[in-house]
Structure 1
């Protein structure tokens, strides 16, 4: 049985290869064996692996999986054979999710609704978790607030927009190209205003102030994109200290790893927070395991009811997984890619 692995190069190059992998014959007390039907592709964060001391010669690829339970351990209580499940493999998983059979703990999985396809379930689970973490856990959004989603047409941005709109939050979103603008305008009324950052005649800060009557937004979600070719740090600084008066969520933590004392004092005066969105904390720390599984289940429920409508490309076969993963790792894919097994 073959699985997808990646091997970091000496000069930052990454090579993805399909190679043989072994499935454990004996299951642990709380482990389940899953036949994978679909696996979504997300970039591999080698810096995170290094920080957590998870460095390996070959890193397993593909962690968002959907499939059918084949066998359960003696103390498993959540699932039975033939159950349809979806989940996210932990960072220290020995097996890649992109293979025919995976063995993992029952605490990494939730039930997949029957109406949800394998590809949609695998493709949405991680971006949905990230949207919940940003808007609920960190920002603590409430109805009547205003949120600015940077790069709203991305896979994560789309779900963040839909989740915010569902809870009565006014959404402003940026479009980095005419194609993104057309797509976001089709999401109305979920998006109250689309801001064209690709158009030099439209200023992001002025547009947000105009839309909010000069008050600014309550929440800004930065999905880690480079919006400006020149001085991106200065532009984000303007966003923080001109627009923001509540909180700021970002996964691009490098730009904000250092804050000068005067800037920190301005945040204090505004009762604002600069927060870092690390959705991996749910699987690296088991302190809030119940809440984590509740979020995964709620993501699936919203996908089943149509609240979440993800942007997906047609599923790719396994033999094209290496090429597709290279595109994902270089961040050239604008839509979520999932492999159908």
Structure 2
């Protein structure tokens, strides 16, 4: 049985290696035949920070498949159940193996209507969106939300989840094609009003962001901002110029607002902190890996996963379709994903 692994170094290398499973299944483990596996960039710095140091790091953690065998003390699943889940950071298994062993507390039942490819491809982004909006921002009906880069897979999940809860959503677009896509975004069920109240183009520069948000909110600013990256200095790469400056984000926040950032190394200067203080606003860092890195709220994590797959099955969350690739292309595809040339990939086994 083969699996995909990463050999860490100055330039990560992805290799396929033979792997075996123990003959005796652990009492709380579920043996799963993998049908689809999502590929996302490896955060090698995070693995080092939490003390996970290996010569070969397993690749592919979002999996969907069928339970083949369950351990003696497994209470949630039976053989032939369709399951979906995210392997923990310290998992010895690659999700791209035909068969893997995974603890039952990292799995939930997959609804019959939901395809394995869709579940594996969208689970990570949906978990990020749920964590950002519910765990950090405490979103509620009547709030206003600004989602940066709404056409990204993560941004799209934030928009759909927020609209489901009665939130007024604004978003930014990074190209004319993304702008048209977001303008035409409609829910799959119910009233067919646009999901986004205002799409703000930033592909000619982010200067229009603050005036547009203040105009739409009557000068009050938004209750919540969720970014997809932040520009710390004025002069950076062409790609970074599409990102908002940290001062712009703080400026669009209303009184008592909350900023959820995905920027891992964000630094706020004293004037930024002063502006946050004047608005009595707050900010938090989005690290969705905390759910599998800590067992303190494992029950809540499983509840979130179950809620996500049920919303995907019902059409509330509709991820951008990902074309599944075969296993023999996994190495090349993963290299593109790691270099951020491709945001997401799904391998069908």
Structure-2-length-normalised TM-score: 0.92
Determine the structure 2 residue equivalent to 1:102: 100
Cα distance in 2 between the residues matched to 1:61 and 1:306: 29
- Pairing 1:298-313 to 2, within 5 Å after superposition: 298-313=307-322
Quick one: which of 261, 265, 277 aligns to 1:254?
Answer: 265
Q: In the TM superposition, what whole-angstrom CA distance separates every residue of 1:147-195 from its partner, at most 9, and x where no partner exists?
A: 1111111111110100001001111111111121122112141111111
Equivalenced residue count is: 336
Counterpart position of 1:54: 52
User: 1-side partners of 2:86 and 2:266: how far apart?
Assistant: 28
Q: Which runs of 5+ in 2 are unaligned?
A: 187-193
Deviation beyond 4 Å, 4+ runs, structure 1: 225-229, 231-234
Hey, what's the Cα distance between the residues in 2 that align with 1:229 and 1:121? Answer: 39
Post-superposition offset of 1:309: 0.7
Of 215, 222, 225, 1:217 maps to 222
Q: What residue in structure 1 maps to residue 75 of structure 2?
A: 77
The aligned residue for residue 239 of structure 1 is 249
The match for 1:328 is 337
Note if contact 1:69-1:83 (Cα within 8 Å) is conserved in structure 2. yes
Q: In the alignment, what sits opposite 2:346?
A: 338
Q: Determine if the alignment matches structure 1 residue 279 to structure 2 residue 284.
A: no
Shift in Å at residue 311 of structure 1? 0.8
Cα-Cα RMSD? 1.9
Closer/same/farther in 2, CA of residues 226 and 318 from structure 1, 3 Å limit = farther
Deviations 1:298-332 (A, max 9, x none): 00010011011101221000001111111211112
Trace 1:133-148 onto structure 2 (pairs within 5 A): 133-148=131-146
Q: Displacement of 1:230 after TM fit?
A: 2.8
Q: How much has 1:333 moved relative to structure 2?
A: 2.0
Residues 198 and 52 from structure 1, CA distance in 2 versus in 1: closer, same or farther, beyond 3 angstroms?
Answer: same
Gaps of 5+ in 1: none
The 8 Å contact of residues 230 and 244 in structure 2, kept in 1 or not, is answered as no
The 5 Å alignment of 1:145-184 reads: 145-184=143-182
Contact 1:35–1:69 (CA<8 Å) still a contact in 2?
yes
Indicate conservation of the 8 Å contact 1:64/1:87, yes or no: yes
Q: CA deviation at 1:264?
A: 2.8
